[in-house]
Amino acid sequence: MLIQFIIIFGCLALGELFVWLTGIKFPSCIIGMILLTIFLKIKLIKYEWVNKISNFLLENLAFFFVPPSVALMKYFDIIKAEWLPIILATVISTIIVLIASGWTHQIFRKHFFNKKEDKNGTSKK
Amino acid sequence: MELLKNSFVLVFITFAFYYLAKLLQKKTNSVLLNPLLISITLIILYLEFFGIDYETYHESGQMIEFWLKPAVVALGVPLYKQLTSIKKQIFPLIASSFVGCVLGVISVVVFANILGASHAVSLSLASKSVTTPIAMEITRILGGIESLTTVAVVFTGIFGGMFGFKILQWCGVTNPISQSLAIGMAAHAVGTSKALEVGYHYGAYSSLGLTLNGIFTAVCTQIILQILGF
């Protein structure tokens, strides 16, 4: 189990190091996630070394959001002043992002794969 | 009563309220009874009722929040497992993320403006779909209200997590990969946690969505707002 912690926190620490070195304004944890993917891909890390802890962490991902979300209570005053535009604009825009990216992906995917199949088809002939 | 704000008690109620909220959802199967939303409400009520301020709660809550970053790192595992299939369709994935990012930034700022929000408030909402650290940084650069961005990010996550899959289904987005990508795009890691519940490997596309949107939003928001004349 120790190795599992070492790898997750190792990637996170490398992410922090990267942010510190480059001064880039990007979350260290996302850089850590990309590093973990790369390390697994190049077989520097074995899947068995991270599977237990990653399953545990991912199963409880939503729970870890509870404490930071309680911070909402601090900002009731700000929300109260302009609550209607804030809530409506956020809801409408979230729906737009969902549909725009979902639809675009679905359409591109069909188009992209049809073309690929065509190519394969002609090359076979 | 000192005991009520004891850090072990506060950590306990966080676990207990979340457990109760999950149980409630299991029993009722209602989308509205989202465990995150219910447990946050219960905790805020508890704190308000006993006159405990957020800072006191935060000291204890931090021990749970601490695991958020390692958990995001762990998203690298499903991502790795789907890497071959992601590579095959990298163009559709990147293109649709870009479209979602641009339309998201434009729509929230324009709608907030139309609905009568002040300039600073509209700017603070621009980055609502990405994870908090990126969103806060963008708002800081734009000159918005950073704490309002935090609120918008949390609210977007909960809303997207609750209704995201339903909305996609209603609108004819049926492909599970498209759905997961979209939910990661729109509702960052909260949406991703929902995608993981639907299926482990879908979490990969959702984490890809949140990463791509984070990058695109960080790079493009200022340019988009300049073009819009904000």
ipTM: 0.91
pLDDT at A124: 36
> A33 and B117 in contact by Cβ < 8 A?
no
Q: Are the C-beta atoms of B133 and A67 separated by less than 8 Å?
A: no
Angstrom distance (rounded) from CA B153 to CA B95: 23
A25 close contact with B: CB closer than 8 A: yes
CA distance A123 to chain B (A): 18
Give the tens place of pLDDT for each residue, B24-51: 999 998 888 889 999 999 999 999 999 9
Q: Are the C-beta atoms of B131 and B153 separated by less than 8 Å?
A: yes
Give the tens place of pLDDT for each residue, B154-173: 999 999 999 999 999 999 99
Give the tens place of pLDDT for each residue, B140-151: 889 999 889 999
Q: Which residue of chain A has the CA closest to B126?
A: A90
DSSP letter for each residue of chain A: -HHHHHHHHHHHHHHHHHHHHH---S-HHHHHHHHHHHHHHTTSS-GGGTHHHHHHHHHTTTGGGHHHHHGGGGGHHHHHHTHHHHHHHHHHHHHHHHHHHHHHHHHHHHHHHHHHHHHHHHHH-
Angstrom distance (rounded) from CA B195 to CA A86: 26
Query: What's the rounded mean pLDDT across residues B55-66?
Result: 94
> A96 and B107 in contact by Cβ < 8 A?
yes
B80 pLDDT more than 70: yes
B182 close contact with A: CB closer than 8 A: yes
Q: Which residues of A touch B157 (CB under 8 A)?
A: 65, 69
Categorize the per-residue pLDDT at B224 as very low, low, confident or very high, splitting at 50, 70 and 90. very high
CA distance B28 to chain A (A): 19
A122 pLDDT more than 70: no
In the chain, the amino acid numbered A52 is K
**Six token digits for residue B32:** 């509205």
A22 contact partners, CB below 8 Å, separation of at least 6: none
B61 close contact with A: CB closer than 8 A: yes
CA distance B79 to chain A (A): 6
Q: Which residues of A touch B116 (CB under 8 A)?
A: 82, 84-85
**Pick from B66, B86, B90: which is nearest to B76 by CA?**
B86
